[in-house]
Chains A and B, each alone.
Chain A
Amino acid sequence: MYKTSVRGILIPGNKSYGQVANDILHPLEAKSPPPWWYIVASLAIGMTGFGIWGIYTTVTQGIGTWGVNNNVGWGMAIISFVWWIAIGHAGTAFSIFLLIMRQRWLTSITRTAEAMTVLAVICAGIFPLLHMGRIWNGFFILPYPNTRGPLWDNFNSPLFWDVAAISTYLMTSAVFWYIGLIPDLALVRERAVSKVKKRVYALLSFGWVGTARGWLRQETAIILIGGLAAPLVVSVHSIVSMDFATSVIPGWHTTIFPPYFVIGAIFSGFAMVMTLMIIIRHVFRYKDYVTQAHLDAIARIMVFISMFMGLAYATELFIAWYSAGEYEIFTFMKNRVTGTYTIAFWIMITCNAIIPQLFWSKRIRNNLMIMFAITIIINIGMWFERYVIIVTSISKDFLPSSWASYSPTVVEWANYIGTMGIFILGILLFFRYVPIIAMSETKGVLKETSNIEEVKHGNH
């Protein structure tokens, strides 16, 4: 429970319910989006176009247009995949864990976090598809009844688990997000002036009228789906980690991977949420909803996770040494800590384990610019983490004769930048057409956390 007496006022400014709705819906109800929206959107469309070119090239000519080779079979695509999936972790982790623990103080952030999750998982999902040599036969991976006799899916393969885990996660996250959205969409419908808008939102809000029965059902559904989704948060990235952990390759063949990946995913997801919240807070003037206190709380969590990351890195190195396996020792000590890939390794350590320690300082936690910079740095660090794990391990594995280096080509960058474009475009559409902050939930906590009498008496 949020105790105002302990934690201070959550939503300052003596706001009425109506004012909350006005504040939150102003980007949606504005006649046209602000100029920066158009600038960023055209940029994002450009990036997406670049990505579409990359995808077209990949599909028409082959994976040969990438930099991967017969020794380093996975590269940028899988790095990007893991990176996006991890970012897609935060939303659901945020909402569900806090929901289950009845921590409603973060309601103002959950909507964005969840939208981010859905978009990131969609972006992530592009890569495994694209990365297939014969994408047109990709349906082989689905376990559907067929006439091929004993040739069915290999249920031993982590790639198959991936397909199951990610598609489940995507669907669950999307449904969870949408159910929370229904009352707000209904409010938009009510306030809409244009007929078209009214129609569309009426359709989207499933005829929500705000009856007590409706609220009961909706809240129960959220709790139920949240409960179901909670284990998924853990399972998705555990399973992604098993793509690596179940292999024989030194640097991949590591039992620490499932928790290490989940923690890492939450870390990068939180960083991305923070990046977005700082932007939203600034451009939409949501200072009263996304307060310094929120960001402060996230930053505190991140210090904690960052230390976990450091611990995971140290554990990997320790186990490599402790195992006395010559290949393990080579991969970790001579190919990461030192050696060809040492720069990537130390970028990873610096960005993920060292720089976030700055959050110990209250002054830094209060400085939004620095916070913003650090969140970006963390996501760069997390990209390098995947690069270190994937590329260093397979580029120099057992037989030195097969050692090969890997550098991504422009097509691979196009694919990655393209997904960024899709993500940004999605976020922009979200800003424009969906209530960015969960109004119903914010109003729900207003009574307990606000400082104004009028609201306490209930005046809609």
Chain B
Amino acid sequence: MKQYWRSIEEYESIQEQGNKGNQDDSLKETPDHHHDEPGDSDLAGSHSRRDFLKMLGFGIGYAGLLSGCEMPVRKAIPYLNQPEEIVPGVANYYATTFYDGHDYCSILVKNREGRPIKIEGNVLSPVTKGGTHARVQASILNLYDMARLKEPMKNSQETTWEAIDGEVIAKLQEISTEGGRAVILTPTVISPSARHLLKEFMLKYPGTEWITYDAISSSAMLQANEMNFKQKAIPDYRFDQADLIVGFNADFLGNWLSPVEYTKQYTKKRSLMDSKTMPRHIQFESYMSLTGSNADYRVPIKPSEESIILLNLYNLIASAKGADTYTVSESPIEIGKLAEELLASEGKSLVVCGTNDLHSQLIVNAINHLLGNYGTTIDLARPLLTQQGSDDEMAALVDDMVQGKVSGLILCQVNPVYDYPAAQRFADGMKQMKLTVSITERLDETARLAHYVCPDSNYLESWNDFEVKKGCYSMGQPVINKVFNTRQAQDSLLRWMEDQATYNDYIENYWEKNIYPGQSKFDGFRGFRNEVLHDGIYVDTSSAGAQPSFSSVELQAGIEPEGEGFELVLYEKISIGDGKYANNPWLQELPDPVTMATWDNYVCIPPGYAKENRLKLEDVVLINGDVELPVLVQPGQPEGTIAIAVGYGRSNAGKVANGLGKNVYPLAVIADGHRKFSGRKVTMERVSGKRYPLALTQSHHTMEQRALAREATLMEYLEAPDAGNEMHMGIVEENLTLYEIPQYEGSHWGLAINLNACIGCGNCVISCQAENNVAVIGKEQVRNRRIMHWIRIDRYYSDEADNPEVIRMPVMCQHCDNAPCENVCPVAATPHSSEGLNQMAYNRCIGTRYCVNNCPYKVRRFNWFEYAGNEKFDYNLNNDYGKLVLNPDVTVRSRGVVEKCSFCVQRIQAAKLNAKMENRGIIDGELKTACQQSCPGDAIVFGDMNDPNSEIKKILDNPRTYQLLEQLHTLPSVNYMTKIWNKDKEDKKVNYRRTRYVPHSVKHGKKHS
């Protein structure tokens, strides 16, 4: 065949090939047509297969190099032998129990690839019924806290368990043989196995004593019940049985006894979803609590007035019932109407008091007895066991310790050097001992002083059993292998008893002997045990005791505190509680539901005093010449009182908590054998010129007469169900548009919030944070108003500063069908889904923040900095342990992009896939958003608005339902239901006004020069 050449070079190369061809026949076999096709020589001729391989190799190598430049290669190691129950990408749920000596909650833990990442409430629990508390939600992060102890320690040096065990046993034996006294100090122990174990321990080492110490105690209540009922117990309160709830300084929705349970009961009847009536709630209190801010009537009183009002109330009821009355000074508050209302709802009322004061508790018992509430709204047959500590035992222990009467002390999950009022004496006592052991999760203020520090396992790494109420059991099981070299307290005690059994064996043993025989459902113990572990709870219906009879005792009002100054109230914040979890950044950054403050404690001062003395937010005052704290002017704080939260001022909790706020436990006093957290008089002086920054997430506190959170009274609601929401229909009719109203085939997701069921506890905020990997940004950035929470709880005060009404509304992305944010994004990073979701494409977002501005609800959050893996934001996202809590289904957002509530799109997707695999549609209620799932008030409903039978659809047709800023025609998918107050028509001040003007007996503090 002829060969054509195009250039001299080609001609020459053809010549050359021809020459070679003569030598090598193989080339001749090259099919000729290769050369026929024009340009083919470029493709095939000039590049050999070897070249191709070279190019390929180079290309792949280069691509590898380039990708390697961007991110370090991290190896994901697959299972060599995959555990049967773990499927990568599929979550496992385990039932377990949260109990820390203060709060109880039955929970489900979500595990992904072996690591627990989220806590949900256990719906099977008869106590908490699927609800959780913000602190419970956040406890998952405690597991991955870098400040946890990693190794056992002796005299601040790391050591081994074997060494510790040997020495502790030797010393315990030494003390025991010498006839010395050793003490095990624990918080309330409600585990039947652990109680049994402690008893065995005391038998093993004679002379050992077990004392219960609760940081926040209910000791007066226990004593009062012992005096009245011969039963040292806390009754089971039934808020769902009451038509009239009267609280005296009892924050039962926030911190008192069993808040999750009480919230479930309280909101069930007040939600107005199924019934047309709701109980009335009247709260007398000395600081603005979460509970008080939800009350229909809230009456600010001084702590010293509490027992006087109570005794007056008792007298009014007693005289109506023909019982004995007692002399008492006149009530500072008009309570005639209250007495009438209580008498009108005998057996259906409930008076509770949260003050650790014997006088008040005895009067409250007497009132409830007169009203016949025992057996109906108060149940002593199944007492609540979560608080058992007696303050006088602890006080006696401290005295003995100082006098050198105690030679050994095993501190088990307690931190009295931080949270006991006489902490210094306790610390001094500790120094004189032969043996001090602290079993604790972190090297806290007390553990620092102990000879031996035994790292305790987190509750998510431990086996446990609990008896929360009599006969009502709850199980604990580990959901992860131990993260550090820790050992759970009970295992340590077993070792020291020279018993090599594991605590799990011990529990099983105990249950097999003591509890298993009491049931008849299961034939074998193994089956019973598995079932109980699976469900997480077990109720022994047979074990209820009888209702004890009431024996009355002499009543008297408390004595007025002496001295001058303000009556001090110490309270627990929703987020920090007693301070145990102060090192949890989620909790530190959770805005207080009342003050909206984060990261600090402060002095809540009454607005009248603030105005008189020109004190304003962030001015610094000196309390009792000792504690310097910033002030926060708190509407509703009674004149003559100040309130400060405990739980701050930790010095040894970890780097998040250390140095935040001030410790005010030392300001509590021990009187009449009980620790008193309120009522003591303190002085307050302004530190002139000094200011301390506070990070509040909300700085304007009234609604400016805008119809945002719409409200009405019960009477109005019963007359017209759309009371307070009359404008809704008008706005819907006026909402004309030239554009097509978006229609959705298939699902159209929507959410509804019942403002009557929402108490504002903040559980949803933390739940959302855990589910959606929301970053913690620290105090300074919160102060810059850049908090990242996808859901916030707006709190508004009505105008009267001395006792405002409080209304809250949770606000998250409203997923508007006509969203202002979507139009304005230049790169279409926030489009609308075919199911009505307003979505964020993080990869597409360039961060113009136009959407942030144009969102009327201001729910969009911008990543102002790189929050993950940044030294400057040294919280849980800056270490490898903290990152284990991340939800792998949700992207961690990088710097410069906007984020916001996604309606938990990952959950929607998972539910859709599940339904698809089972070849069905999504069943209403199976799909729950994170905020909804563990809401203790069941205030949130999520579902398909296109499904005619769904719960959300029913709410849409409810006359109470409206949308926030609906007049803007944004067509939000989030709906709100009006807040209904159970108030009389007349002004509340007529009902509970002060009978006399009580000037606050305060001398103005000397001003520093």
Q: Please tell me if the beta carbons of A404 and B828 are within 8 angstroms of each other in the complex.
A: no
Q: Mark B61-101, 1 if CB is under 8 A from A, else 0.
A: 00000000000000000000000000000000000000000
A159 B824 Cβ-Cβ under 8 A = yes
Stretch at the interface among A22-30, A65-73, A87-95, A431-439: A65-73
Interface contact B785-A154, CB-CB below 8 Å: no
Residue B864 is within 8 A (CB to CB) of chain A in the complex: yes
Residues of B891-913 whose CB lies within 8 A of A: 894-898
**When the two chains form their complex, are residues B823 and A64 in contact, meaning their CB atoms are under 8 A apart?**
no
**How distant is B981 from chain A, measured CB to nearest CB, in Å?**
20
Known A246-B824, A247-B820, A401-B700; contact A133-B844, beta-carbon cutoff 8 A: no
A133:B862 contact, CB within 8 angstroms? yes
Q: Tell me, in angstroms, the Cα distance from A64 to B786 when the chains sit together.
A: 9
Are B848 and A133 within 8 A (Cβ)?
A: yes
When the two chains form their complex, are residues A70 and B826 in contact, meaning their CB atoms are under 8 A apart? no
Q: Are B825 and A68 in contact (CB under 8 A)?
A: no
Q: Pick the contact of A249: B699, B702, B854 (CB < 8 A).
A: B854
Q: Quick one: which of B169-221 are within 8 Å of A by CB?
A: none
Question: Is the beta-carbon distance between B866 and A62 smaller than 8 angstroms?
Answer: yes
Tell me whether A141 and B846 are in contact (CB under 8 A): yes
> Are B844 and A74 in contact, with the CB atoms below 8 A?
no
- Known contacts A62-B866, A246-B823, A401-B698; is-contact A153 B849 (Cβ 8 Å): no
- Known A-B contacts A70-B861, A71-B785, A153-B827; the reply to A399 vs B708 at CB < 8 A is yes
By the criterion CB–CB under 8 Å, are A399 and B856 in contact?
A: yes
Q: Are B853 and A398 in contact (CB under 8 A)?
A: no
Residue from A69, A154, A246 within 8 A of B826 (CB atoms): A154
CB neighbours (8 Å) of B339 from chain A are none
Q: Which of A64, A71, A153, A400 contacts B781 (CB 8 A)?
A: A64
Most chain B beta-carbon neighbours within 10 Å: one of A133, A159, A247, A394: A133
A400, B796: Cα distance in complex, Å = 9
**Which residues of chain A have C-beta atoms less than 8 A from B844's C-beta?**
140, 151
- Which A residues touch B970, using CB under 8 A? 248
Closest B residue to A137 by CB, please name it: B846
Q: Does B993 contact A (CB under 8 A)?
A: no
Please state if B785 and A157 are interface contacts (CB–CB under 8 Å).
no
Instruction: State how many angstroms separate the Cβ of B268 from the closest Cβ of chain A.
Output: 28
A84 to B965, CA, bound (A): 35
Chain A contacts with B in 54-69, Cβ cutoff 8 A: 61-64, 67-69
Question: Closest chain A residue to B861 by CB distance?
Answer: A70
A132 touches B856 (CB 8 A): no
Does chain B have a CB within 8 A of A156? yes
Q: Which residue of chain B lies nearest to A163 when distances are taken between CB atoms in the complex?
A: B826
Is B704 in the interface zone, CB < 8 Å from A?
A: yes
Nearest residue (CB) in A for B777 is A64
Q: A133 is contacted by which of B700, B702, B847 (Cβ under 8 Å)?
A: B847
Mask of B837-852 contacts with A, CB within 8 angstroms, 1/0: 0000100111111101
Closest CB in chain B relative to A184 CB, distance in Å: 40
**Is B784 within 8 A of A67, CB to CB?**
yes
Q: Tell whether B858 is near chain A: CB-to-CB under 8 Å.
A: yes
Q: Which residues of B contact A158 (CB under 8 A)?
A: 824
Number of interface residues of A (CB under 8 A): 51
Chain A residues near B968 (CB-CB < 8 A): 248, 398
26 contacts between A and B (CB under 8 A): A61-B865, A62-B866, A64-B786, A69-B785, A70-B860, A72-B853, A131-B849, A132-B896, A133-B862, A134-B847, A134-B895, A134-B896, A135-B846, A141-B826, A141-B827, A151-B844, A154-B828, A156-B824, A157-B824, A249-B854, A398-B858, A398-B968, A399-B708, A399-B857, A400-B700, A402-B794
| List of B residues within 8 angstroms of A399 by Cβ | 708, 794, 811, 856-858, 964-965
| Contact string against B for A residues 141-157, beta-carbon threshold 8 Å, 1 for contact and 0 otherwise | 10000000001111011
Say whether A397 faces chain B, with CB atoms less than 8 Å apart. yes
How far is it, in angstroms, between the C-alpha of A249 and the C-alpha of B855 when the chains are bound?
Answer: 8
User: By the criterion CB–CB under 8 Å, are A400 and B865 in contact?
Assistant: no
Given known contacts A133-B848, A398-B857, A63 and B823 CB-to-CB distance under 8 angstroms: no
**Nearest CB of B to A127, in Å:** 12
In this complex, the member of A67, A138, A248 whose beta carbon has the largest number of chain B beta carbons within 10 angstroms is A248
Q: Is the CB of A156 within 8 A of B786?
A: no
Q: Decide if A160 is an interface residue (CB 8 Å cutoff).
A: yes
Pair A157/B850 contact, Cβ less than 8 Å: yes
User: Complex: how many Å from CA A157 to CA B796?
Assistant: 35
A326 close to B (CB within 8 Å): yes
Whether A318 is near chain B, meaning CB under 8 Å from some CB there, is no
Q: Which of A68, A246, A396 has the most CB of B within 10 A?
A: A68
Is A403 interfacial (CB 8 A cutoff)? yes
Please, what's the 1-or-0 string for A304-329, where 1 marks a CB less than 8 Å from any CB in chain B? 00000000000000000000001100
> Cβ of B590: which chain A residues have Cβ within 8 Å of it?
none
Judged by a CB distance under 8 angstroms, whether B533 is at the interface is no
The chain A residue with its CB closest to the CB of B596 is A401
Within 8 A of A (CB), among B664-700: 698-700
List the B side residues contacting A83 at CB < 8 Å: none
Chain A residues with CB below 8 A from B792, complex form: 401
Please determine whether A157 and B702 come into contact, CB atoms closer than 8 angstroms.
no
Contacts of B864 in A (CB 8 A): 62-64
User: Closest CB-CB distance, B60 to chain A, in whole Å?
Assistant: 21
The answer to whether B787 has its CB under 8 Å from any CB of chain A is yes
Residues in B with CB closer than 8 Å to A404 are 699, 785
A359 in the interface (beta carbon within 8 A): no
- Cβ A247 vs Cβ B853 within 8 A: yes
Interface: A416 (CB within 8 A): no
Interface string of B778-798 (1 = CB under 8 A from A): 000100111100001011100
Residue-by-residue, is A116-139 near B (CB-CB < 8 Å gives 1, otherwise 0)?
000000000000100111110110
- Top 7 A-B pairs, shortest CB-CB distance: A133-B847, A133-B896, A64-B864, A73-B852, A401-B794, A73-B849, A402-B858
Interface presence of A330 (CB below 8 A): yes
**Cα-based distance from A78 to B937 in the complex (angstroms):** 44
Interchain CB contact under 8 A, A70 and B825: no
Q: How distant is the Cα of A132 from the Cα of B863 in the complex, in angstroms?
A: 12
Distance A396 CA – B702 CA, assembled complex (angstroms): 13
In the assembled complex, the Cα of A140 lies from the Cα of B896 at a distance in Å of 14
